[in-house]
Structure 1
């Protein structure tokens, strides 16, 4: 069977595949690029497998003057950079056993043995430089059925790397086409879920955030919740959180909002600062994401009946991003109540504020301490008090008072 992928005809890729196939060797594109190409999905990375031993891969790259990095040479992987595009080239191998997440490997020339060490059948597909599709483990049938199935014994695959539990649910969220996951896979994930405690927080969050970014992660999270995996990695999950997430996803799809994994995380946990601090510690979230969650927890949901002027004053006095996150969730909550007319009205009012808040630019208070010094105020706490009072007056005016007007009012007060 031959396939046509536009990206496969890229001259740089063809040159590299040709180089790695000289002298009776063979090189193919493997895994995700082939899977996504067959599904019509976007291609992010192109991974190449070859029968050529790592030392000879390096030798041929040097001979041609290609840039490369020895990113995983112990496991047979070399990263090649051609015309700004990177390709991971890995020698065929067989895993002889594992030590944690570090497998013992033996390099070889057997494509089927190399395929068997992978996680899911749809990831064992490969394609030659001419477009010939190789399917040693019937992954094409699973791919067409959108069925996520481990290669061989699911428990053996998970024991090799427990992260595959989360990868299974992530793939189910992205590529699965039924409500029910593969029963043997689900059983194995349930039986070995305790192994998740062996994983680093960074690996768990990376995989979980990819799951949350899926078009609709609800089904995957439902089954993770059913077998106790979700509460294991996310003790802060709220009762009914998955239903809240589903409502948010529907609005995101309807209004073409981006699939924001942090907003989706907010939808399934409580805005409790203590709980969020515990979550940040357990998952070791990047500082910018941790800060966003804390800001959301500290923010207050605005009243749907506010005028734009009142809302702008509310935004000015609070944390804009936290308020926007609160508004996004509140809008999704109300608009999802399709049979409740009053909720629909509130939802539209909230949405009106949300759209306004996303484009609103916080104005700068026009008066500074230096202006007050020029008027004869002595340096010290008195200036700070006066500035605070003036800023409140300026906000109450709807930010309409200009610097000259504010200083003029201050001058009148000081002479009276």
Structure 2
């Protein structure tokens, strides 16, 4: 199937309706950018963007429910499928005092000028009809590919190349450097030498980007099947030093390899974005430094907390592996630690699998993993909430005033049930509690 035929077949109904409405009104109508690239690469687009020479005012007149809340010519049009599609007026950008957004935009009459402002050749491909085409022509059935910069060939050859002069592309928008790394990871591309040289020269500009944008691009890289090469490229070209100095200072090629191994397609925990992020930041020793970096990337609090939990659990697994290597195999205690750390005892086995995948586990990890997985399969208690009784039942049975001793006794019961010293049944646990209290010193359960 030709690229044009592939795009033609993939265009959603509501997008086709918008293209036809533009053509009926006498305007050029194209789908552009990432959607066209993804279809040609054999992927399913996440979104479809359109472009035309119609101005924002003309678009709002044509689509009465459209919204226009920016100065870049992008109009949002709600469709019958409940999706808001973006239609952008052909434009040229000039100036970029913040290395992120154009200082001025100029609307243009033709698609070729619009494609010339885009970042990479693989994103500078369009499909549709020019304004001078016959109004009888259908923009889908009769549409054609417009590829003035050779993006289709670059995509086929696995090459990421900047549009036009690479020396200008990244001073216009520093985020393009991180986008380049994401495209390398997602499409398994090699960066064209002049483009790579421009990234290396302008990498310090990435430090001026918003943390939210940086964090989103990092997560995009980690979401790729093969992120290792892109991560190493970030280190080699200086982007990592700009956006994560603490990580850059501790970087080695092995880090990217370990990150890629965690959450691989063949693993039961795939995809594993939190595991990969934790592995990426593992070279940073201090938990506070990791939290500060994630906060600078504007990651959600829940994400930061989860990464800290994984780091704490990883240290516990390392200790458990060391103990197992010396002959003291205790998967039950590790599951209890996991439940206390992350809220899920199954995370003990999950973290061992991460360590095994990353090549950081000890020789005793297989036995420890098996013990944890057996506990998971048998649903052995790992927290007080898993027990067949509650604290108020202990208070009533033992006739004592409620206090810290209740939590301490429940923790003891969890450990005893997990190690099969007593059955997880209410009567057995109450009788066992009486034995514990009777055998302990008066002050041992406060």
TM-score tier by shorter-chain length is: 0.7 to 0.9
| Local SS of the residue matching 2:122 | helix
Following TM superposition, by how much is the alpha carbon of 1:394 offset from its aligned partner in structure 2, in angstroms? 3.2
Q: Which residue of 2 aligns with 1:11?
A: 13
Q: Could you report, residue by residue, the CA deviation over 1:288-331 in whole angstroms, capped at 9, with x for unpaired residues?
A: 11111111222211439599x94243212332566455313321
The CA RMSD over aligned residues, in Å, is 3.2
Q: Which residue of 1 aligns with 2:286?
A: 272
| Local SS of the residue matching 1:143 | helix
Match of residue 55, structure 1, among 54, 57, 60: 57
Tell me if 1:76 matches 2:73: yes
* Aligned residues between the structures: 402
Tell me if 1:39 matches 2:41: yes
Q: Could you report, residue by residue, the CA deviation over 1:225-250 in whole angstroms, capped at 9, with x for unpaired residues?
A: 12332233223437565324324534
Q: Which residue of 2 aligns with 1:163?
A: 175
Q: Kindly indicate whether the alpha-carbon contact (under 8 Å) linking 1:215 and 1:259 is maintained by their aligned counterparts in 2.
A: no
Q: Which residue of 1 aligns with 2:297?
A: 283
- Give distance in 2, aligned partners of 1:323 and 1:403: 27
Q: Which residue of 1 aligns with 2:353?
A: 328
| Local SS of the residue matching 2:76 | strand
Following TM superposition, by how much is the alpha carbon of 1:383 offset from its aligned partner in structure 2, in angstroms? 3.7
| Local SS of the residue matching 1:98 | coil
Change (3 A) 1:313 1:76: same
| Local SS of the residue matching 1:122 | helix
Q: Kindly indicate whether the alpha-carbon contact (under 8 Å) linking 2:31 and 2:127 is maintained by their aligned counterparts in 1.
A: yes
Match of residue 400, structure 1, among 419, 423, 429: 423
Q: Which residue of 1 aligns with 2:217?
A: 207
- Give distance in 1, aligned partners of 2:253 and 2:294: 20
Q: Which residue of 1 aligns with 2:195?
A: 185
- Give distance in 1, aligned partners of 2:309 and 2:375: 16
Aligned pairs for 1:122-271 within 5 A = 122-128=122-128, 129-130=140-141, 131-178=143-190, 181-237=191-247, 239=250, 241-247=252-258, 249-250=260-261, 252-255=264-267, 257-268=269-280, 269-270=282-283
| Local SS of the residue matching 1:24 | coil
- Give distance in 2, aligned partners of 1:325 and 1:245: 20
- Give distance in 2, aligned partners of 1:386 and 1:256: 36
Change (3 A) 1:146 1:311: same
- Give distance in 1, aligned partners of 2:42 and 2:422: 51
In the alignment, structure 2 segments of 5+ residues that lack a partner are 129-139, 440-446
Q: Kindly indicate whether the alpha-carbon contact (under 8 Å) linking 1:335 and 1:348 is maintained by their aligned counterparts in 2.
A: no
Q: Which residue of 2 aligns with 1:339?
A: none
Q: Kindly indicate whether the alpha-carbon contact (under 8 Å) linking 2:55 and 2:89 is maintained by their aligned counterparts in 1.
A: yes
- Give distance in 1, aligned partners of 2:410 and 2:122: 64
Change (3 A) 1:361 1:13: farther
- Give distance in 2, aligned partners of 1:407 and 1:7: 68
Q: Which moved more, 1:184-193 or 1:403-412?
A: 403-412
TM-score, normalising length from structure 2? 0.80
Following TM superposition, by how much is the alpha carbon of 1:411 offset from its aligned partner in structure 2, in angstroms? 4.7
Change (3 A) 1:366 1:281: same
Q: Kindly indicate whether the alpha-carbon contact (under 8 Å) linking 2:93 and 2:105 is maintained by their aligned counterparts in 1.
A: yes
- Give distance in 2, aligned partners of 1:289 and 1:13: 35
Q: Which residue of 2 aligns with 1:409?
A: 432
Match of residue 303, structure 1, among 321, 325, 344: 321
Q: Could you report, residue by residue, the CA deviation over 1:88-147 in whole angstroms, capped at 9, with x for unpaired residues?
A: 111111113224233211222121111111100111101112341111222122121121
Following TM superposition, by how much is the alpha carbon of 1:38 offset from its aligned partner in structure 2, in angstroms? 0.6
In the alignment, structure 1 segments of 5+ residues that lack a partner are 337-342
Q: Kindly indicate whether the alpha-carbon contact (under 8 Å) linking 1:263 and 1:325 is maintained by their aligned counterparts in 2.
A: no
Following TM superposition, by how much is the alpha carbon of 1:6 offset from its aligned partner in structure 2, in angstroms? 6.3
- Give distance in 2, aligned partners of 1:247 and 1:145: 27
| Local SS of the residue matching 2:6 | coil
Following TM superposition, by how much is the alpha carbon of 1:42 offset from its aligned partner in structure 2, in angstroms? 1.8
Following TM superposition, by how much is the alpha carbon of 1:189 offset from its aligned partner in structure 2, in angstroms? 0.9
Following TM superposition, by how much is the alpha carbon of 1:414 offset from its aligned partner in structure 2, in angstroms? 7.0
TM-score, normalising length from structure 1? 0.85
Q: Which moved more, 1:100-109 or 1:270-279?
A: 270-279
| Local SS of the residue matching 2:85 | strand
